[in-house]
Amino acid sequence: MTRTQPPTTGAAPPSPAGNGLPRAPVLPPPRRRRRPALLALAVTMVVLGALGATYLATSLGQTSPVIALAREVPWGQAITAADLVEARISPDPALHPIPYGDRDQVIGMVAATTLTPGSLLTRDALTDQRLPATGQQLVGVGVSTVQLPTTALRPGDDVLLVPVAAGSAPVAAEGGAPGVVDATVVQTGPPGTDGLRVVDVLVAAADGPDVAARAAAGLVAIVVVAGE
């Protein structure tokens, strides 16, 4: 008689394929380790980014009205309402433009330098001192095309007024030196029908009467000198 042996305890069951190999044990899925600190940091970064974007958008949207120049205003000229325009800029500590609400206070003041169109108007660019200043006189000098340079004269240019005789020769003063007069150009007018162009100049009060007399006779030539 043949005895059937009982199965050995602990033996692995045969594989489903019946190849006699033991089945691989099934491992449980790995447990994820949660890191609360990293999660809190990520949330904080998202919140800070949103707050920064909101602040930036709000700052860019906050602009203030200031005064800008609509056209050129030569040195020494009074400011008019047509010279000014409203501009809006973001606050900047490096800029000190005049608020547009002070526009009425600016009208009538004098340009302390030549103001260019599109620039922002500041207090330093204005003065309440009208021309001529104390000790000066404003004289209009009529000159022909041969009595001044072809290059256009600009307000603030330093010039010499050279008295000439009828023959266009310089008039000698005492000591034999030409009686030239230092002057500053204020404004240049367009050519008249007589071919003369009137140039407004500032001269010392002591020279004003003599310059006016010679200018009326057309006996003054204008020479531009190097400015400071």
Tell whether 50 is covered by a domain: no
pLDDT per residue of the chain (228 residues) written in tens, 0 to 9: 555 555 555 555 555 555 556 666 666 666 666 667 777 777 788 877 877 777 666 655 678 899 999 999 998 899 999 999 999 988 888 889 999 999 999 999 999 989 999 999 999 999 988 888 889 999 999 888 888 888 889 888 999 999 887 655 555 444 444 588 999 999 888 888 888 889 999 999 999 999 999 988 888 999 998 765
Amino acid identity for residue 96 in this structure: H
DSSP 49-97: HHHHHHHHHHHHH--EEEEEESS-B-TTPBP-GGGEEEEEE---TT--P
Q: How many CA atoms lie within 13 A of 43 on its CB side?
A: 6
Question: What's the pLDDT score for residue 173?
Answer: 47
Main-chain phi, psi angles of 115, to 5 degrees: -95, 130
pTM over the 0.75 mark: no
Quote the domain boundaries for residue 200. 136-224
pLDDT of residue 158: 92
> Which among 116, 114, 120 has a CA at the least distance from the CA of 95?
120
Give the helix, strand, coil percentages of the chain, each rounded to 5: 20, 30, 50
Residues 143, 209: one domain?
yes
- Asked whether residue 8 is domain-assigned, the answer is no
Q: Are 184 and 201 in contact (CB under 8 A)?
A: yes
Beta strands at 84-89 and 64-69: parallel, antiparallel or unpaired: antiparallel
Q: Does residue 171 share a domain with residue 204?
A: yes
Domain CATH for 73:
3.90.1210.10
The pLDDT, as a whole number, for residue 55 is 67
Among the candidates 95, 127, 159, a domain finishes at: 127
